[in-house]
Structure 1
Amino acid sequence: MHKIVEKRVLAPKVTLHKVFAPEIARARKPGQFVMLRICESGERFPLTIADADPQAGTITIISQEVGKSTALLASLNVGDYILDVAGPLGRPTHIEHFGTAVCVGGGIGIAPLYPIAKALRDCGNRVVSILGARTRELLILEKEMGEVSDEIHICTDDGSHGFKGFVSEKLAQLLAAGASADIVFAIGPVPMMKAVCSVTAEYGVRTVVSLNPIMVDGTGMCGGCRVSIGGETKFVCVDGPEFDGHQVDFDELMQRQRIYREFEERSCKLLSSISNLKQP
């Protein structure tokens, strides 16, 4: 049982929880994740550790309500408990002095990007961040990312904040203008990461992506998170979550991500019906 010690709503349907998990807080590294189970009858699902405080013994997780389990997590408040929090899992991000590191984040992908950008900056890299969301209201962690970036660009689909357009378009604009980029880290929706990799491939820039496919156990036993990397099958939970973006079969990944959509929608409707019945 892991107690929630802080809760904040960052954007519509996006919630930050600080959870007391001292052993994980001491051991975690950027890029790693935890597997959560909200209750005895709940499913296991992964969330990247967005931050940690070893002294306080807490980890920070940021979730977006996209299904039953994330909706249940969002409903938990300070003082409530999460049944299971297992981790840290996955291979940590390889951090070294690359030179100029461009961090591209879209939507909820900004959450796992933050600890990577912070570690890159601490290692002496020049960090250029490109953050995107559909609207200004949906943009998260702008202040925090600004604090660990030497340069930051904001993009919104509707132009309500910053550049009107996609993060991949802003990246292409910067590279075309001669901006330096020794490595790119991209995290966000699969189509976004695919678009970013198309841009960087044209300029020959090494690109690392963090994948978040369907995952059941997080330890390599179920094979649910398998992806094709350079024609080989890899398990995101133990071989990743980070891979060479130019080797990822994004089309296959997008197809696999849709496998359980019908079941997820059914579970969400059932949860909503139960919640409505409980209301006075």
Structure 2
Amino acid sequence: MHKIIKMLKAADDVYSMEFEAARIAKAFKPGQFVILRAHEKGERVPFSICNVNRDKGTITIVFRKVGKTTEYMSKLENGQFILDATGPLGQPSQLLNIKSGSSERVLFVSENSAAIRIYAELKYLHDNNVHADALLSFEDENRLMFKEEIEKLSNKTYISFKNGEGEFDGSTDKAVKHILENGNYTLVVCMGSVKMMKEVSAVTKTKGIKTIVSLNVLMLDGTGMCGACRVNVGNEIKFACEDGPEFDGHLVDFDEVMIRQSIYSSVEAKKKYREQHAGTEAAVEKEGC
């Protein structure tokens, strides 16, 4: 059991949850994720770890209310509990290879609630004196969230609204193109929808700027057993949960990612997948994936 320390509502359907998980907090490295089961009959769902407090022994996740599990979680309050948490899982971010004081110039690009998902990696670069800016993209001003948290860590924070308000014309990839034309960046880190990551990767590829994308949107069971997060990266088969969730955006087959995402996009789709593979993937069923 993991006690909830702080529940915050960041937007109409976006919530931040800080809860006790001392062992996970101690072992966590930026880029990794956790799998939660909110109650005994709940499904196992992966969430990015946005921040940790090792002194308090807590980790923080952010989620959007989109299904039964997140609907249940959104109603939890401070002092209540979630059943179990497994992690940290996945590979640490490639950014951890950047040495303190490096001349790298990094641009983070996020979309909607992913604005806080960049926090842990941005903090790592900030603490190691590496230049990093951030572009936070939202549907409109009413969806603006986590701006203050990011501004404390980034050298410069850009805000883009898809409805065309602000200094950009509304398209995230066009905003990125404008920023790159006016800044000497060596690396782009992109987190958000598959469509957005694909478009941004296309822009950075033409400019020859290395790009890292996060494919946590594909993960189903988080242990590599179900194969749902299989993806083609540079003509090699990878699994987002074991080999990622971060990959080279110029090598990812985004069309395949979008097809897989649509297959496993709902509780009903996950249930159908499990039923279809009941004979060959009994271990997956046993794990409650």
Give the alignment's TM-score, normalised by structure 2: 0.87
Distance (Å, rounded) in 2 between the aligned partners of 1:48 and 1:262: 18
Checking the alignment, whether the CA contact within 8 Å between 2:116 and 2:150 is kept in structure 1 is: no
Distance 2:230 2:124 in 1: 28
Cα deviations across residues 120-142 of structure 1 (Å, max 9, x unaligned)?
A: 12222111111101011212211
Compute the displacement of 1:246 (Å).
Answer: 0.4
The answer (yes or no) to whether the contact 1:98–1:183 under 8 Å persists in 2 is no
Three-state SS of the structure 2 residue aligned to 1:112 is: coil
Q: Displacement of 1:260 after TM fit? A: 3.7
Matched ranges for 1:40-55 at <5 A? 40-55=40-55
Aligned to 2:175: 170
Specify the code of the residue in structure 1 equivalent to 2:47: L
Q: 1:108-127 alignment to 2 at 5 Å?
A: 108-127=113-132
Distance 1:91 1:266, change over 3 A: closer
- CA shift in 2, pair 1:198/1:38, >3 Å: same
For residues 124-168 of structure 1, what are the alpha-carbon distances to aligned partners after superposition, in whole Å with 9 as ceiling and x for unaligned? 211111110101121221111111111111000124455341222
Task: Decide whether the 8 Å contact of 2:67 with 2:267 is kept in 1.
Answer: no
> Does residue 1:186 correspond to 2:190, yes or no?
yes
The Cα RMSD (Å) is: 1.8
Task: Report the equivalent of 2:230.
Answer: 226
Which digits, 9 at most, give the CA deviation of each residue in 1:194-240, with x for residues without a partner? 01101100100000011123433322222121111112211111100
Residue of 130, 139, 154 corresponding to 2:135: 130
**What is the match of residue 38 of structure 1?**
38
State the SS of the aligned residue for 2:256: helix
Would the alpha carbon gap of residues 264 and 160 (structure 1) be closer, same or farther in structure 2, given more than 3 Å must change?
farther
Match of 1:152 in 2: 157
Aligned partners of 1:219 and 1:226: how far apart in 2?
12
- Tell me which residue corresponds to 2:212: 208
Q: Structure 2 counterpart of 1:91, which letter? A: Q
Partner of 2:17: 17
CA distance in 1, matches of 2:18, 2:50: 10
The answer as to whether partners of 1:135 and 1:161 remain within 8 angstroms in 2 is no
- Equivalent residue for 2:252? 248
**Could you tell me which amino acid in structure 1 is paired with residue 192 of structure 2?**
G
Q: In the aligned structure 2, how far is the partner of 1:114 from the partner of 1:65?
A: 21
In 1, the alpha carbon distance for the partners of 2:35 and 2:270 equals 23
Q: Secondary structure of 1:251's match? A: helix
Instruction: Say if 2:4 and 2:78, in contact at 8 Å, map to a contact too.
Output: yes
TM value normalised by structure 1 = 0.90
Gaps of 5+ in 1: 268-280
The question of whether the paired residues in 2 share the 8 Å contact of 1:136 and 1:161 is answered with no
Q: CA deviation at 1:34?
A: 0.1
Structure 1 residue matching 2:3: 3-state secondary structure:
strand
CA deviations 1:216-270 (Å, max 9, x no partner) are 3322222121111112211111100000000111111111111144654999xxx
TM-aligned CA distance change 1:85 to 1:195, over 3 Å: same
Cα distance per residue 1:26-62 (max 9 Å; x no partner): 1111111000111111111110111010011110110
Distance in 1 (alpha carbons) for counterparts of 2:110 and 2:173: 10
C-alpha contact 1:107 1:189 (8 A) present in aligned 2? no
Q: Distance in 1 between the 2:265 and 2:244 partners?
A: 24
1:258 maps to which of 255, 262, 270: 262
Q: Which residue does the alignment assign to 1:57?
A: 57
* Amino acid corresponding to residue 203 of structure 1 in structure 2: K
Aligned residues: 266
Query: Aligned equivalents of 1:200 and 1:256: distance in 2?
Result: 24
Quote how far apart the aligned CAs of 1:118 are. Answer: 1.1
Does the Cα contact within 8 Å between 1:172 and 1:199 map onto a contact in 2? yes
